[in-house]
Amino acid sequence: MKKYHIGYTCGVFDVFHVGHLNLLERCKKMCDYLIVGVCDDLYVREIKKQIPVYSENDRIRILNALKVVDEAVLVDIETTNDKLIALKRFNFDVLFSGDDWKGTERYLKTEQQFAQLGVHIEYFPYTNGISTSMIRESLGNNKIKE
C-alpha cells in the first residue's frame, strides 16, 4: 500500500514536458489515486499573464491520457489559490507541490491549516534544465545563426 490514499497537485501544464512527467510520476508513487487540478485559461491569462498554447480542454485531455494520472479536472483561480477550497472539493489526504513554494507565507499558512485536519504536504524539487518558460523562450529563438 502507498503512503497516501488520495493525492492532489495543481498546475497549468501548458506545453507538457518531462519535468511535468517527473512530478506526476513522483506524486503517483506516493498515492493510490492522483487527482491533477488543471488551471483554467482565465488563470493563465490573469495570473500568469500569458496566453495558453493549449486550451484548458486540451490540457485536461493530455493529462487524462497519462497512466500516472487517475483524474485531471479543471480548477478556477479561487480553487488554485486557496488549497482549503481544493481540499473540500477533492477530499485528498496529501497535497503535492513544487519545493519553490516551501517556506512561503501562503504555504506556511496552508501547512498549519492542513495539520489541524490531518492533511499532509509533500514538496518535490523541479527538474533541472527544463521549464515551460525555457521552452517558450527557445521557440522564439530557434533559428540557427549563420
Q: What is the CATH number of the domain that holds 40?
A: 3.40.50.620
Tell me if 52 is assigned to some domain: yes
pLDDT at residue 2 above 90?
no
Provide the domain limits for residue 31: 1-77
Residue of higher predicted confidence among 130 and 37: 37
Tell me if 102 is assigned to some domain: no
Q: What is the per-residue pLDDT across 23-34, written as a single tens digit (0 to 9) for each?
A: 999 999 999 999
Q: What is the per-residue pLDDT across 62-117, written as a single tens digit (0 to 9) for each?
A: 999 999 999 999 999 999 999 999 999 999 999 999 888 899 998 999 999 999 99
Taking CB atoms within 8 Å and a gap of at least 24, the contacts of 18-23 are: 18/127, 18/130, 19/126, 19/127, 19/130, 19/131, 21/66, 21/68, 22/127, 23/96, 23/98, 23/124, 23/126, 23/127
Tell me if 14 is assigned to some domain: yes
Tell me if 9 is assigned to some domain: yes
Sheet with 31-39: list strands edge to edge: 71-75, 31-39, 4-11, 94-98, 120-124
Q: What is the per-residue pLDDT across 37-70, written as a single tens digit (0 to 9) for each?
A: 999 999 988 888 888 889 999 999 999 999 999 9
Q: Count of domains in the chain?
A: 1
pLDDT the model gives residue 116: 95
Question: Pick from 122, 121, 124: which is nearest to 109 by CA?
Answer: 121
The span from the CA of 135 to the CA of 83, in Å, is: 28
pLDDT the model gives residue 140: 61
Tell me if 50 is assigned to some domain: yes
pLDDT at residue 130 above 70?
no
Tell me if 94 is assigned to some domain: no
- The residue assigned the cell 497519462 is 66
